[in-house]
Amino acid sequence: MKQENIRNFCIIAHIDHGKSTLADRLLEYTQTVSGRNMQAQVLDNMDLERERGITIKSHAIQMTFHFEGEDYTLNLIDTPGHVDFSYEVSRSIMACEGALLIVDSSQGIEAQTISNLYLAIGNDLEIIPVLNKIDLPHSMPEEVSDEIIDLIGCEREEIIPASGKEGTGVDKILEAIIKKVPPPKGDKEKELQALIFDSEFNPFRGVEVIFRVVNGTINKGDKVKFMATGKEYLADEIGVLKLDQEPRKMIEAGDVGYLISGIKQAKEVKVGDTITHVNKPSESPIAGFEDVKPMVFAGIYPVETSEFEDLREAMEKLQLNDAALVWEPETSAALGFGFRCGFLGMLHMEIIQERLEREFDMTVITTVPSVQFKAHLKKGEPVDVQAPAEMPEPITIDHVEEPFVKAQIITKSDFVGPVISLCIDKRGILKNQNYLTSDRVEMTFELPLAEIVFDFFDRLKTISRGYASLDYELIGFQQSNMVKLDILLNGEKVDALSAIVHRDKAYDWGKRLCEKLRELLPRQMFEIAIQAAIGAKIIARETVKAMRKNVTAKCYGGDITRKRKLLEKQKKGKKRMRQVGRVEIPQEAFMAVLKLD
Ligand code: GDP
Ligand code: MG
């Protein structure tokens, strides 16, 4: 394929504005996927993605399209829209020259429309605006076009009206991709530089590396080197990504492909690394990606302590597939050996937990999530605190800083009041307010990250009846009056239940957390005292009464199958429990702090 006939583009949008559905139509129109293999959101091939109806990972696929007497290769990358996964978007963007910016014509511009657009503009991508879902009766093409023109400064005629559902506008979109997106610039005669922008672990074939050749040519059988790790491999198999992998003899500058070379160790591949030739290496790697910054930290522990090594292996494999996941071993007095993990947000954390269980058959407990604090000591270097257990003794601390974010909220003007109250309750400050139309407002707040990563978005949705979107970015650390709140069960501190909270909220938290734990801890043959403490000072207390009789007694001693069923049920319920001292703690207890209001 001639380089001037290659187009690399991604699809960006706010969540649910129809990226994956439009991708389906492009694949059909170009006959990349035929009738028999077609299913809705065909690129969302992970079970979890299909069930939840969301895109979690970016997906690359190659299409061939005949246009005005020429054959074109179009490499499409579908991207996730949720704020937790903007890192996936930024990687995809680096492998493209153009972006389809999709806006739902019944919703208008939302928070991730703007943040993803800025990522694309920052990388000099050609933007093709698409007004989607025009089939909907409550579609507002005029108003939403005004918003788009206002946002990107394009002409009205440049906006392509489309319906991913009905296939309207697909021909216009393909034409615009060919006419407006520039072909890749690289030189295929130069030394090889291929950017790794994704990777996947296949249990049978080892690590599959997804790359974009920026300069040079890679051939099957070449001896290649990954520049950051210095490791050398034989390119056993290279090829392009259609619905399935299609092996090729060579891949030239400008194109996207995959590489399989029997890499067994997940750690060996670093997304953002550059592949070059061993014999004729490039002098420098491609300027890579920024390292991912995890926002939320939590411990992950096996329910069965004997499964620690299995869990380590699972984490290594998962990390290969998810460059945003970071982790290191950790020990908890209560839970034993496990891992401290960094996540992009709560959805990311939930997904990691679910993938560990589904794809690796692990049963795990995750501990109370926390953001990273900085403790400045009276003497010595400041300490990064990613878990409450790492907080130094109060007496040694001079002051504590916590991370703050700039948050963009877009909502209907009716909900401005409630949104501001919510943000103030969360220790936020309103910085700016901007009317997108007479009826829709964009507000900017500064907020502590700790107040928004957990249940903020759910509350925002509730108070705005669904009409609010949120995007945020870290802006740095600021001093805050934080304290460590400990939980004691029968007088024993359970480190995995500690949390770091603002002093003004600590008493209230302690009280409500004890109440919540009283509901969640199963009754046992003895009484359980639940206490909340700041340092040595007890600030709240609740009691779980002892159970008087054996549970099976409920079955009147008669029906044996019923008895067995009950025991079975108990056993299942036990799966996600950890014994700490004599007390059994269910998974929900570790998440209780997130559901206090
Ligand atoms: P994504 O999150 O941007 O990938 O969005 P999806 O493609 O998963 O679509 C979100 C929802 O909108 C799904 O329920 C789709 O069926 C629906 N949808 C997508 N495109 C259209 C469209 O053009 N018209 C209508 N009426 N619904 C659409
Ligand atoms: Mg999608």
The 3-class secondary structure across 453-477, one letter per residue, is: CCCHHHHHHHHCCCCEEEEEEEEEE
The confidence score (pLDDT) of residue 573 equals 47
Q: Has this prediction a pTM greater than 0.90? A: no
Q: Which ligand is nearest to the CA of 18?
A: 1
Residue 436 DSSP one-character state: S
pLDDT confidence of residue 574: 47
Task: Say what the pLDDT of residue 290 is.
Answer: 65
Ligand 2 mean position, distance from CA 247 (Å): 27
The pick from 10, 12, 14, 16 for probing ligand 1's pocket by mutation, whose C-beta has the most ligand atoms within 8 angstroms, reads: 16
CA distance 460 to 124: 33
Section 375-403 average pLDDT: 93
Q: Which of 574, 577, 522, 513 is nearest to 545 (CA)?
A: 522
Can you tell me which atom of ligand 1 is nearest the CA of 78?
4
The helix or strand, by DSSP H or E, that contains position 336, with its residue range, turns out to be strand 336-343
Q: Top-level CATH class of 301-367?
A: alpha beta
Which residue positions form the known binding site for GTP?
Answer: 16-21, 132-135
Percent of the chain with pLDDT over 70: 89
User: Around Cβ 113, how many Cβ atoms within 10 Å?
Assistant: 27
Both tokens of 454, joined, read 């957990």
**How far does the centroid of ligand 1 lie from the alpha carbon of residue 20, in Å?**
7
DSSP one-letter code for 391: P
**pLDDT at position 45, please?**
63
- Does residue 177 carry a pLDDT above 90? yes
pLDDT at 130: 98
Residue 461: per-residue pLDDT: 87
Cα-to-centroid distance, 22 and ligand 2 (Å): 9
**What atom of ligand 1 comes closest to residue 14's alpha carbon?**
3
Lowest mean pLDDT among 101-115, 317-331, 408-422: 317-331
pLDDT at 559 over 70: no
Residue whose Cα lies nearest atom 6 of ligand 1: it is: 18
Q: Please tell me if the domain spanning 374-480 has the same topology as the one spanning 484-594.
A: yes
C-alpha 445 to ligand 2 mean position (Å): 28
The CATH code for residues 374-480 is 3.30.70.240
**pLDDT band with cut points at 50, 70 and 90 for residue 458:** confident
Closest Cα to residue 387, out of 405, 375, 397?
Answer: 375
Which one has a higher pLDDT value, 242 or 235? 235
Closest-CA residue, ligand 1 atom 19, reads 18
33 near 212, Cβ under 8 Å?
A: no
Residue 164 CA: nearest ligand 1 atom is 23
φ/ψ (deg, to 5) at 494: -105, 100
DSSP E strands in 436-572: the ranges are: 440-448, 468-480, 482-489, 492-493, 499-502, 528-534, 537-544
Index of the ligand 1 atom closest to the CA of residue 102: 3
Identify the H or E element spanning 547. none
The ligand whose atoms approach the alpha carbon of 40 most closely is 1
Pocket of ligand 1 (CB under 6 A): 13, 15-21, 41, 53-55, 81, 132-133, 135-136, 163-165
- Report the pLDDT value the prediction gives residue 555, as an integer from 0 to 100: 46
Percent of the chain as helix, strand, coil, to the nearest 5: 30, 35, 35
Instruction: Tell how far the Cα of 79 is from the centroid of ligand 2, in angstroms.
Output: 7
pLDDT at 166: 95
pLDDT at site 501: 92
Please give the pLDDT value at position 317. 83
Q: Which amino acid is at 140?
A: M
Tell me the ligand closest to 13's alpha carbon. Answer: 1
What residue owns the CA closest to ligand 1's atom 17? 18
pLDDT at 423 exceeding the cut of 90? yes
- The helix (run of H) or strand (run of E) holding residue 412 is strand 397-412
Residue 314: pLDDT band (50, 70, 90) is very high
551 pLDDT more than 80: no
pLDDT above 90 coverage of the chain, percent: 54
* pLDDT value at residue 35: 63
Q: Is the dihedral of CA 141, 143, 147, 153 positive or negative?
A: positive
Q: What is the mean pLDDT of the chain?
A: 87
- Please tell me the residue having the least CA distance from ligand 1 atom 11: 16
Comparing 27-41, 57-71, 183-197, 267-281, the range with the smallest average pLDDT is: 27-41
Ligand 2 centroid to residue 80 C-alpha, Å:
6
Q: Mark the binding-site residues, compressed into ranges.
A: 16-21, 132-135
At the second CATH level, the architecture of 3-180 is 3-Layer(aba) Sandwich (3.40)
pLDDT band of residue 91 (cuts 50, 70, 90) is confident
Residue 554 has pLDDT above 60, yes or no: no
Q: Where are the domains of the chain?
A: 3-180, 193-277, 301-367, 374-480, 484-594
Q: Does domain 484-594 have CATH number 3.40.1280.10?
A: no
User: What is the reported pLDDT for 199?
Assistant: 80
In 3D space, the residue among 173, 148, 178 whose CA is nearest the CA of residue 162 turns out to be 173
Which of 3.40.1280.10, 3.40.190.10, 2.40.30.10, 2.40.10.480 would CATH assign to domain 193-277? 2.40.30.10
132 Cα nearest atom in ligand 1: 23
Average pLDDT over residues 61-79: 91
* Span 330-358, pLDDT tens digits: 998 888 899 999 998 888 898 899 899 88
Contacts of 477 by beta carbon, 8 Å cutoff, 6+ apart: 374, 401, 402, 403, 404
- Tell me how far the alpha carbon of residue 103 lies from the centroid of ligand 1, in angstroms: 11
